[in-house]
Amino acid sequence: MMASNSQSSQLLGQREANDASNSSMLPKTMPRGKLYAIADLHLGFADNKLAWSKLTPYPGDGLILCGDVGESVEHLRLAFSKATECFETVWWCPGNHELYTMPVQSGPEGVRGEQKYQECIDIAREYNVLTPEDDFIAWEGEGGPAVIAPIFTLYDYSFRPDHVTLEGAIPWAREKDTEATDEFLLHPDPHASRQKWCEELVNKFETKLVAVRARFPSLPLVIANHWPLREDLVTLKFIPRFSLWCGTKLTHDWHRRFNAKVVVSGHLHIRRTDWKDGCRFEEVSLGYPRQWKKCAEMGMGVNELMREILPGPEVPKTGEVPTRWRVYG
């Protein structure tokens, strides 16, 4: 049974009255066109910044920025200002790079951990960009209705072989000269560790998704999270042990539990489309300049490499569908 238009247009997941001073935003109008997504813009690179400047208008459409737009306040503002200039409604969820506390040559170190995340949220709200801290809202454009649910889960080093212990995970990765920059720049303050922060985030967004499903059981979800929800979607041919920093096994079945129509992620810098249990998984990274160089040489930029999420391709008729590696978009 499909929800009515009046029902699906209601604001989802209302906060308690005592949180009214921090209540989330509702867009003035919701897009009636298509929904797109892109991740890993990495605007600290000149080539990527130039490519982003060439984003063209998409009147009536929506966009999900799925993390890693850059490392600085300047990068966030550049990403949000251009996105909101070209799209009717924009969603954002954080990646690891937004959470970096970059070293400074003089003066006190910048904000860390949850404070850094909150700084990003505050900047997003300046541009009316919807975040994981805002109420999930219903999409009534093409491919809808569906609930757009940007979330934030981090990682807990559980994407590792069974014989590798948690304590031995990072030494195991170092054996192959693999270690994420996160170990030096992504601080979990005030939590004791990144995995503890991840655990809290998983519980927080699990609760939020449960509430949305209970309130609107007939609406499928579009879940957007920078990190993949499933370990079997992490294929890293040249740096396989980097999987430690790519998600948590705690979200393995969330696409089934929460009736996801599409799950959007980034982080891997390897564009791909997968189907699991009738749900479409889209990795939508742009990546570092060297990783989309072939596309640039063919005249392709962010306009060509953005991924259409809704309505998107038709659901396959067969149960088993091989991964589609989307080198060119």
Go through the domains of the chain in sequence order and give each one's CATH number: 31-101+109-314 (3.60.21.10)
* Residues 111 and 186: beta-carbon distance below 8 Å: no
pLDDT digits (tens, 9 = 90+) for 4-63: 333 334 433 333 333 333 445 666 568 899 999 999 999 999 999 999 999 999 999 999
CA distances from 149 to 7, 83, 320 (A): 17, 18, 26
CA distance 64 to 97: 17
CA distance 140 to 5: 8
pLDDT tens series, the chain, 329 aa: 334 333 334 433 333 333 333 445 666 568 899 999 999 999 999 999 999 999 999 999 999 999 999 999 999 999 999 999 999 999 999 999 999 998 875 555 689 999 999 999 999 999 999 999 999 999 999 999 999 999 999 999 999 999 999 999 999 999 999 999 999 999 999 999 999 999 999 999 999 999 999 988 999 999 999 999 999 999 999 999 999 999 999 999 999 999 999 999 999 999 999 999 999 999 999 999 999 999 999 999 999 999 999 999 988 887 678 999 998 77
CA distances from 110 to 72, 99, 100, 177, 195 (A): 11, 11, 9, 28, 22
Q: Which of 18, 128, 28, 40 is nearest to 306 (CA)?
A: 40
* Residues 261 and 221: beta-carbon distance below 8 Å: yes
Residue with the two structure tokens 């400047």: 53
Q: Is 228 helix (H, G, I), strand (E, B) or coil?
A: coil
Q: Which of 286, 264, 285 is nearest to 49 (CA)?
A: 286
pLDDT digits (tens, 9 = 90+) for 284-311: 999 999 999 999 999 999 999 999 999 9
CA distance 76 to 70: 7
